[in-house]
Structure 1
Amino acid sequence: MTIQTLNRLQELRLGGMATALELQLQQPGTYEELSFLERLSLLLEQEYLQRESRKQYRLVRQAGFRLQATLQEIDYQQHRNLKRAQIAQLGQGDWLFRGQNLLITGPCGTGKTYLACALGRQACSQGHSVRYYRVSRLLLTLTQAKADGSYQKLLGQLAKTRLLILDDWGLEVLKPAQRNDLMEIMDDRSGLMSTAIISQLPTTQWYAAIGDNTLADAILDRLMHNAHRLELKGESMRKREENNVEREQLGEKG
């Protein structure tokens, strides 16, 4: 009967319950004083936790983050104009439910991508779908989708993604077809889903990077309306780490 029950649980894809039941059977003394409903509750809780863990793993894998980042590992010691209270508020995820956007700007190496990936991973832990793209690769993917007939399907997937992270925004002036593609994406997402933009350029230079005043107005109006802004400052953290390593090496030699 026990083996049959475990097999049924596996067939019904209730692996968490099966694992918890085996544990109860292996340690009868620990659970013998619990009522039937209490033991059943433990089985259901294990099933729920296992499913949530699998879901979060799947969401993180599908997001394609550039960096493995977490909010807990953000460095606040350096002077980067980064406020704990603001990051904590963003980490709660209310802005995602409201379809608000996030604009992260600052010099190269100040941790913009790390911060966006950390917030994206936090969104995954809250059950949200996330996608990370460098703008150049997203535009290439859209071009390829037009060629193989999957363009509308891809637009539909992007429209349903709760948080879309676009990195390296504004590095190159957009071509007409690329501007139209971005307009399609932003129009589908405006007020419904959240988009995070990462750029070395200040927002005042984004118009020139888009390259067309009319479409620039339309795209940026959808991005900047009710957007949260993080303007990072300071020297490159990568250079700082390299200098620290060099000093440590010189110290060892000395």
Structure 2
Amino acid sequence: MTTAITLARLRDLRLGAMAEALERQLEQVGTYDALSFLERFGLLIEQECLEREHRKQSRLVSQARFKLRATVQDIDYQHPRSIKPDQIARLAQGDWIARAQNLLITGPCGSGKTYLACALGHNACLQGYSVRYFRLSRLLLELTQAKADGSYQRVLKQIAKTQLLLIDDWGLETLNAAHRNDLMEIMDDRHNTTSTIMISQLPTDQWYSAIGDNTLADAILDRLMHNAHRLPLKGESMRKVLGELTEREHLE
């Protein structure tokens, strides 16, 4: 079999990265002569595995629909928000996701809650977890539309199997009875099975009253909080501080 046919067969088998790696080996005459056949073949397989892992990570990040492009490496620890690198490092390890635990991020407007959540979500994608970001109002609207077009159960199943769900702007809007029931369905499906990051301006002790129904509030928060890590942020709005710096720099 000629080299051209071998390369074509690899691409037909969707082993494009392996084909490219083989081409590089053939172009670099003498570089791989000291390696055995199995060692050279192992390098080709490793390249294919790396490329597939990269494609999977890119697909997971795209499907997550993050509000912000954020990474754990770019988190700002200089701004005083009561977060420490060791806290984020422990969360970035992802053990809490593997254990189907939750994370509650609270703090004032502009304190970087959404950035932190998206950074941890992005990190989870790199570890191979499926992730999805929603603002609460958009999530509830999608569920309302799903009821109208008959896809409600399918959408619930998709949310239930998402390994890390990010819900932003929790507690900002008044919930009606249908919304409370929707949230109960989601939390019940995810309880002890998958993980949720809840992002809110309200401190957790105000979440009960924000839900508006005592019985459902008990049920929802019990499922959400009993195995949750908490990350309360403090300090002045980062958007305000950065805006002032930008204005000062512009004046200079």
TM-score w.r.t. length of structure 1: 0.98
SS of corresponding position for 2:134: strand
Match of 1:104 in 2: 105
Match of 2:231 in 1: 230
Q: 1:198-238 CA deviation, whole Å, 9 max, x = no partner?
A: 00001111112111010000000011012000000000000
Counterpart CA distance in 2 for 1:173 and 1:209 is 7
Match of 1:140 in 2: 141
Counterpart CA distance in 1 for 2:12 and 2:99 is 39
Counterpart CA distance in 2 for 1:249 and 1:14 is 52
Counterpart CA distance in 2 for 1:71 and 1:136 is 26
Match of 2:151 in 1: 150
Match of 1:209 in 2: 210
- Aligned: 1:89 with 2:90: yes
Q: What code does the residue aligned with 1:215 have?
A: L
SS of corresponding position for 1:164: strand
Q: What code does the residue aligned with 1:189 have?
A: R
Query: Sequence identity, in percent?
Result: 71
Counterpart CA distance in 1 for 2:32 and 2:148 is 61
Tell me by how many angstroms 1:249 deviates: 2.2
Match of 2:116 in 1: 115
Tell me by how many angstroms 1:28 deviates: 2.3
Q: 1:126-166 CA deviation, whole Å, 9 max, x = no partner?
A: 00000000000000000111111111111111111110000
- Aligned: 1:15 with 2:16: yes
Q: Which range is displaced more, 65-74 or 23-32?
A: 23-32
SS of corresponding position for 1:51: helix
Q: What code does the residue aligned with 1:188 have?
A: D
Counterpart CA distance in 1 for 2:207 and 2:174 is 10
Q: 1:90-109 CA deviation, whole Å, 9 max, x = no partner?
A: 00000001000000000000
Which 4+ stretches in 1 moved above 2 angstroms?
Answer: none
- Aligned: 1:241 with 2:242: yes
Q: What code does the residue aligned with 2:180 have?
A: R
Tell me by how many angstroms 1:123 deviates: 0.2
Q: 1:108-134 CA deviation, whole Å, 9 max, x = no partner?
A: 000000000000000000000000000
- Aligned: 1:4 with 2:5: yes
Tell me by how many angstroms 1:241 deviates: 0.6
SS of corresponding position for 1:131: strand
Alignment of 1:192-207 (within 5 A): 192-207=193-208
Q: What code does the residue aligned with 2:92 have?
A: G
Alignment gaps of 5+ in structure 1: none
- Aligned: 1:52 with 2:17: no
Q: What code does the residue aligned with 1:167 have?
A: D
Counterpart CA distance in 1 for 2:154 and 2:241 is 44
SS of corresponding position for 2:31: helix
Tell me by how many angstroms 1:24 deviates: 0.7
**Considering only aligned residues, what root-mean-square deviation do their CA atoms show, in Å?**
0.7
Paired residues of 1:173 and 1:208 also in contact (CA < 8 A): no
Q: Which range is displaced more, 42-51 or 240-249?
A: 240-249
SS of corresponding position for 1:31: coil
Tell me by how many angstroms 1:246 deviates: 1.6
Counterpart CA distance in 1 for 2:12 and 2:213 is 57
